[in-house]
Structure 1
Amino acid sequence: MQRSMTRPGNHVIKSYEIYADMLFRIALVHLGSRQDAEEATQDTFIKLIEKAPKFKDTEHQKAWLIRVITNHCKTLLGRGWRKREVKLENAEPIAVDTPEDLALLQLVMAMPMKYKTVIHLYYYEDYPIQEISKILQISQSAVKMRLQRGRQLLKLELEGVESQ
């Protein structure tokens, strides 16, 4: 498939300036690799240019971009060549304030995808449950359940770390 070589519109450039860092962080949490996260972010903006959807407002656009990058990351992780465990030490570090924050981030990144996604959106990107529900296209009760189970997994892991 040949892509058009025209320059993207100002709205795409502005969207990139506003959302690229957030989308990169989401992809990094999912994929665990700086290079893969950069590629996923780029692919998301290419899809924005190609599809050129009409958005009701900036929140609608933001939710669309998050949904696209999340789905793209799931696709990448599902490919045969990609089915491998990604260690945090191979990833570019996300800015954290303390060693405790880094340890917690490592635990979050090791979680199953469905818990990692809601934990990241809720705690690291400050999305309310209602917005996460819309973005991931799951019910609010499913978001709450995943947050609860994710917290339980983290608590068990943290208790295991403290007892060592």
Structure 2
Amino acid sequence: MNHPTNPPVDWETLVTQEENRLYRTALAILGNPSEAQDAVQEAFLAFLEKAPADLESPGAWLMRVLVNGCKSRLRLRWRRPTVPLWEELPAPSPQEREELEELYALPPQDRVVIHLHYYEGYSTQEIAQLLHCRPGTVRSRLSRARERLRRLLGGDFQ
């Protein structure tokens, strides 16, 4: 019996649909715009070289590869931010700069769960699969990050 295969991926459509989402995720993990761009490019390159032909969800595959690549970058000893993030973003106000500093002071593992949950809409179970950890670990990281952001923002953050 022949099984239907997924149609081939339209490269241009895939890049157009996924690049901003992947970049925001990489920036949330790495905290450095140029490193985030490099990580996204590496994820797309890995897709071209290694993605299975019968992928059901190319976006999910790319996200998993990107998160793993970002985690590897964080482990590299030579990786040190040289320019504070707010200097690379368009002229934030002093209050916005303070908030960015606090957000990027969160450990990378807390930043990534905040980003994946609130900006990308992943459930704790899905985040756990992406990060190769337990759902309880994701929930505790979310809780810890929410508490710190709640103190920063002086109100509700859910």
- Which TM-score band (shorter chain)? 0.7 to 0.9
Preserved CA contact (<8 Å) 1:64 1:135: no
Greater shift, 81-90 or 43-52, is seen at 81-90
What is the one-letter code of the residue matched to 2:139?
K
Match of 2:119 in 1: 124
Residues paired across the two proteins, number? 146
* Cα distance between partner residues in 1 of 2:108 and 2:54: 28
Greater shift, 125-134 or 16-25, is seen at 125-134
Query: For residues 2-17 of structure 1, what are the structure 2 equivalents within 5 Å?
Result: 11-17=10-16
Q: Can you give the 5+ residue segments of structure 1 that lack an aligned partner in the other structure?
A: 1-8, 160-164
1:50 aligns with 2:49: yes
Return the TM-score normalized by structure 1. Answer: 0.73
* Cα distance between partner residues in 2 of 1:113 and 1:32: 8
- Runs of 4 or more above 3 Å deviation: 83-86, 90-93, 98-106, 156-159
Question: Secondary structure at the residue paired with 1:82?
Answer: coil
CA RMSD after TM alignment: 2.8
Greater shift, 103-112 or 147-156, is seen at 103-112
Q: Can you give the 5+ residue segments of structure 2 that lack an aligned partner in the other structure?
A: 1-7
Question: Secondary structure at the residue paired with 2:78?
Answer: helix
Return the TM-score normalized by structure 2. Answer: 0.76
Match of 1:20 in 2: 19
Q: Rate the CA distance shift 1:153–1:55 in 2: closer, same or farther, 3 A.
A: farther
What is the one-letter code of the residue matched to 1:81?
W
Q: Rate the CA distance shift 1:69–1:55 in 2: closer, same or farther, 3 A.
A: same
Match of 2:3 in 1: none
Q: Rate the CA distance shift 1:55–1:92 in 2: closer, same or farther, 3 A.
A: farther
* Cα distance between partner residues in 1 of 2:30 and 2:19: 16
Q: Rate the CA distance shift 1:55–1:38 in 2: closer, same or farther, 3 A.
A: same
* Cα distance between partner residues in 1 of 2:128 and 2:77: 29
Identity of aligned residues (%): 35
Preserved CA contact (<8 Å) 2:29 2:109: no
Q: Rate the CA distance shift 1:118–1:158 in 2: closer, same or farther, 3 A.
A: same
Query: For residues 82-121 of structure 1, what are the structure 2 equivalents within 5 Å?
Result: 82-84=79-81, 87-92=84-89, 104-121=99-116
* Cα distance between partner residues in 2 of 1:102 and 1:125: 23
Deviation at 1:25, TM superposition (A): 0.9
Match of 2:136 in 1: 141
What is the one-letter code of the residue matched to 1:18?
Q
* Cα distance between partner residues in 2 of 1:86 and 1:75: 21
